[in-house]
Structure 1
Amino acid sequence: MATARKSGRETALRPFVRPRLYEQLVERLLDHIQAEGLRVGDRLPPERELASQLAVSRASVSQALVALEVQGVIDVRHGDGAVILEIPPERQVLAALHARRNRVRDVIEAREALEVKLAGLAAVRRTAADLAAIDGALEEMARDVVQGGRGVVGDEHFHAAVTAAAHSELLARLMTEIAELIKESRVESLSQPGRPKQSLDGHRVVAEAIRAGDAGRASTGMAEHIAAVSDVALLRED
């Protein structure tokens, strides 16, 4: 009985978890939307202005905006700022952010298990049409990155093309099951400074190995790529 009471006290007195800076900024931005009476279709102030008003770095503001983008609250358009898509309750958004932090780790593990195998199979089973689809996705992402974009759509199309090139119905079905979760982590990852170019380079390594029919190199390249793009601010301690 004494042991049980002690355990209960230890649980109650567990270390206080301080909200991360980006979570605090998300709260401030949601407060701003409410206070200013902004509606769906309105734009938030530019990042530079937000950073100045909040007395934080633009990188911190960018992370908060990405968090809102993944939740579907805003749409961050290159050269057009952040447009409001939905105004949900603040508590709902914050709860979703906390849940997503744990979910991102699970998604990374699933990608490591599935996509490394898919890349290896693609190197053995790819057809000329598969290679054309992979090259098309690379070109699409490269165009967007050169223009200053994040390459999100091209990135998605590349991984879909590799999955299709593996010609494994079951693995493709499993990828479909986690597609929306991967989309969340993809936006988070490609919003990191310098990440779009790094991701594109990783894609090219995988594509070259698949074209050469080198299953081992394709698998290794995909594993290294996923490890690199999985370094996201959401999982780092402030």
Structure 2
Amino acid sequence: MIEFKNVSKVYPNGTYGLKDVNVRIDDGEFVFVLGASGAGKSTFLKLIMHEEKVTSGELVVNGFSLAGLKQREVPKLRRSMGIVFQDFRLIPSMNVYDNVAFALRVTDTPYREIRKRVPFVLDLVGLIHKAKNMPNELSGGEQQRVALARALVNKPALIIADEPTGNIDPEMSMEIVDMLDSINKVGTTILMVTHEHELIRRYDHRVITIEGGSILSDRPDWRDAR
């Protein structure tokens, strides 16, 4: 569960990233966060990931109260979420298998568990046959699927997808969102940031629109957000 209660974020130069935001996202929801560049979407995500700190108000994510979160608790918070970025962020010197396994190795997951979970998630995203390939041998869509596998491998309660379709073609964009939709159907909360109105027309999911650091609208699905 994610809950913003009167949350504002003010940067050192006085610019507001968010202004008095109140939003609740329940476990198991699929939510699109829509907005133009500079609307406040990135700030919204950075606060959830605890990359930025709340200036005022209260923010709770997966049972953690972030306003007073101690530094030693930050790794626990981040293990409860998987993150998919627009620019993939794969390690170029590692093959597909090791890029996914890396997310488990940094949390000291036993070798036997890594050997079981990595092939499982690679098969889930349709890339088991590419396990030994290097990132530069993959298409953009395949690289994004590796990034999705890496986000999934820790069995997170929440997946944050930050413009995951921004660097891939429209057909692959639909495939990525279809995968996220399937993952959501088994109980994982999905929070996907996008500016692509056409993309979300296909899906009957909640749409939160941010403009000027404020919540412009919060609708059950795209048909009500137009």
Which structure has more relative contact order (CA 8 Å, sep 6+)? It is 2
Which structure: greater strand fraction? 2
Which structure has the greater CA radius of gyration? 1
Which structure: greater helix fraction? 1
Alignment TM-score, normalising by the size of structure 2? 0.27
Alignment TM-score, normalising by the size of structure 1? 0.26
